[in-house]
Structures are given as C-alpha cells and as structure tokens.
Amino acid sequence: MDDIALQKLRKYCAYQERCHQEVRSKLIALKVYGDDLEEIIAELISENFLNEERFARTFARGKFRMKMWGRNKIKQHLKIKRVSAYCLKKAMEEIEEEEYIETLQSILRKKIDRHDNLKPIIARDKAIQYAISRGFETSIVYDQIRLIE
C-alpha cells in the first residue's frame, strides 16, 4: 500500500466530507490502481475518514439550506456521485418537511414579487418554473402556489 497516497487522502477527506467516487477519482489521479486503491479506501473507511452515509446527509443538508435546492436536484446530484440507494434515503431524512415547505414558499413569493411588473399569471408561471428547476417536486410546487395566491 502506498503510504504517501494514504496520507494525502487522509488530508483530502479531513478537509471536507467526500463520497467514495471522489476518493476513487483522487487515487486514480495520484496513479494508484487495483488492490492498492481498494486497500486505501478500506483503510480510510476503517479510520472513519470516509463514510458515505455521513457524506450524503451532509451534502443534502448543505445543498438544501445553503443553495435552497429541492429534493429532486439533491437526489440527482447524489446519484451522479454514485451514492447508494440506502445513503440516498438517509440523506432525504435530513430535510424536514415543514422547513422544506417554508423554503419553497419563500422561493415562490420572492420570484413572484420580483416579477411584479408582469401580468400575475406570467409571474406565477415564472415562479413555478424556477422552483421546479431548483429541484422541488412539481406537485408540491403547484400545491404551494395555490396557497400563495
């Protein structure tokens, strides 16, 4: 096993939460392959530097609270990072329903207010499209837009 690569990956994982795919890519960039690569990943997991469930939960919490992403967008990005279905489910538990709805309502109101110079129906449609593009579920967006009007 490559001790230098292991040290670099410990620092890499200590800096911020990482998923297995990011660590794998970093090791390949460091020209570590095969059994050495798998051994380093196993070592990082055993030392708790690498924990995919913790990564998924942190990712979901951060993207929702900081970037105001909806569940669909968060799930899509976690799937791109090849996070397991179990971890994906656990990540979605980090988003409380009440806070989710409040965030969506806030996004819709801001978008409608921003387009107050347009006809109300157009401003409403722009708000709906924006919320859906942020990853909020279509059905929830339509339910909430009815409550705002």
Mark whether 61 and 33 lie in a shared domain: no
Write the CA distances from 83 to 7, 12, 65, 129, integer angstroms. 24, 19, 20, 28
pLDDT at 32: 86
Mark whether 39 and 7 lie in a shared domain: yes
Mark whether 33 and 60 lie in a shared domain: no
Total domains in the chain come to 3
Which residue, 46, 66, 81, sits at the end of a domain? 46
Tens of pLDDT, residue by residue over 21-76, are 999 999 999 888 888 889 999 999 999 999 999 999 999 999 999 999 999 999 99
> Domain limits at 84?
52-92
